[in-house]
Amino acid sequence: MRPARALIDLDALRHNYRLARELSGARALAVVKADAYGHGSVRCAQALEAEADGFAVACIEEALVLREAGIRAPILLLEGFFEADELALIDQHDLWCVIHAQWQIDAIEQAQLSKPLTAWLKLDSGMHRVGLHPADYQHAYRRLLASGKVSKIVLMSHFARADEPECERTAEQLAVFQQARDGLSAEVSLRNSPAVLGWPQVPSDWVRPGIMLYGATPFEQAQEQAARLQPVMTLESKVISVRELPTGEPVGYGARFVAERPTRVGVVAMGYADGYPRHAPSGTPVVVDGQLTRLIGRVSMDMLTVDLTDLPQAGLGSHVELWGKQVLASDVAMAAGSIPYQIFCNLRRVPLLYLGG
């Protein structure tokens, strides 16, 4: 059997969830959209269900996967519905729904629901992607209340730059939010992972941690609270072939690496078809039998090559950690010009193996 696989440490996931709660002092919706950032949404939700206040996903398709797996906890649709006819399923499956546009309020007014909805009313406080304009926010709130179709409204917004510790934009967005919601007494939800970790002064009744649950930092620089996260995924494989190359010989497609000294090359069963980033350059950290070394040559579809020259004990069958507790996914992502969010979401083909029930 091909040795490439991803181990998912569910105890680490629970540790990170508890950290989000501890740091915020708030209730926390575990964000498990995009198949829990590649970690498997059903197993991750099951592992958290006993303690989680609820879950958040991007769309109803993702929510139904969780409901079909027996998850009974609240599930928030972060983009609400895309078409009005989804409201029947939202009603039937007791889903919470972000409302970010006027047309969604129209649809709710016209909907036939068996019971009132929980709505999260989203303000565009400056990210300018989705959300109601500040000038329309109070009117939207009153319309929703008056519709008789909602039982509860949570006030929410989303930060564009909370991962930049020195950036004033987060405080500006908060000020826009506070002004727009002035006088509305309702629960509030503002903080994603970087805001949970780095913006303790931002109020929240509900936080929405995503990437931090999976143990990766959203920050580019070292950050005190992010250092407390435990990596959840270990992407691992084995050395399946070894080459001794004399100085001057190339490795792999495009001869991207040429040996500058007699080089022992280990070939690892892992490639971009598994989600390992093709743009990771020579020098990207990788761990072989517990020892740090480097990727060399171009990543191909099913294989990549590593430098074993200084690891004489390593060879055929050696264990390789592409990322995990020794090499952080965020470091691999940075080397490849990406972010941990994307390299997790790109994971495919490798079997996921769950540890810690």
> Is-contact 137 181, C-beta < 8 A?
yes
Of the residues 17, 37, 152, 253, only one is catalytic, namely 253
Which x/- pattern, by CB under 6 A, does the window 33-72 give for ligand PLP? x---------------------------------------
Among 192, 293, 305, 330, binds ligand PLP (CB under 6 A): 192
Quote the CA–CA distance of 251 and 179 in Å, as a whole number.
59
Least separation, in Å, of the C-beta of 212 and ligand PLP? 6
3-state secondary structure of 335: helix
- CB-nearer residue toward ligand PLP: 215 or 252: 215
Residues 6+ apart with CB under 8 A from 186: 141, 152, 153, 154, 155
- CB-nearer residue toward ligand PLP: 47 or 195: 195
Looking at residues 110 to 149 of the shown chain, list those that interact with ligand PLP (rule: CB under 6 A): none
Q: Is 211 in the site for ligand PLP (CB under 6 A)?
A: yes
Among 31, 101, 245, 347, binds ligand PLP (CB under 6 A): 31
- CB-nearer residue toward ligand PLP: 31 or 308: 31
Quote the CA–CA distance of 167 and 161 in Å, as a whole number.
7
- CB-nearer residue toward ligand PLP: 287 or 329: 329
Among 24, 147, 170, 193, binds ligand PLP (CB under 6 A): 193
Residues 6+ apart with CB under 8 A from 316: 239, 240, 241, 242
Residue 122 bears catalytic tag: no
For residues 183, 124, 100 and 17, what is the CA-based torsion angle, rounded to 10 degrees?
-90
- CB-nearer residue toward ligand PLP: 127 or 273: 127
Quote the CA–CA distance of 241 and 300 in Å, as a whole number.
15
Least separation, in Å, of the C-beta of 209 and ligand PLP? 5
Look up residue 55 and give its amino acid. F
| The two three-digit tokens of residue 294, written as one number | 């480097």
Q: Which residue has the tokens 């708030």?
A: 26
Least separation, in Å, of the C-beta of 216 and ligand PLP? 9
Among 210, 231, 275, 277, binds ligand PLP (CB under 6 A): 210
- CB-nearer residue toward ligand PLP: 197 or 286: 197
Window contacting ligand PLP (CB under 6 A); options: 106-114, 136-144, 208-216, 277-285: 208-216
Of the residues 33, 122, 149, 238, only one is catalytic, namely 33
Residues 6+ apart with CB under 8 A from 230: 9, 12, 15, 16, 215, 325
Window contacting ligand PLP (CB under 6 A); options: 108-116, 202-210, 234-242, 285-293: 202-210
Instruction: Please report the DSSP string for 7-59 in residue order.
Output: EEEHHHHHHHHHHHHHHHTSEEEEE-HHHHHTT-HHHHHHHHTTT-SEEEESS
Residues in the chain: 357
Least separation, in Å, of the C-beta of 339 and ligand PLP? 10
Q: Binding residues for ligand PLP, how many (CB under 6 A)? A: 12
Using CB under 6 A as the criterion, which residues of the chain lie in contact with ligand PLP when the complex forms?
31, 33, 78, 158, 192-193, 208-212, 218
Kindly list the catalytic residues: 33, 253
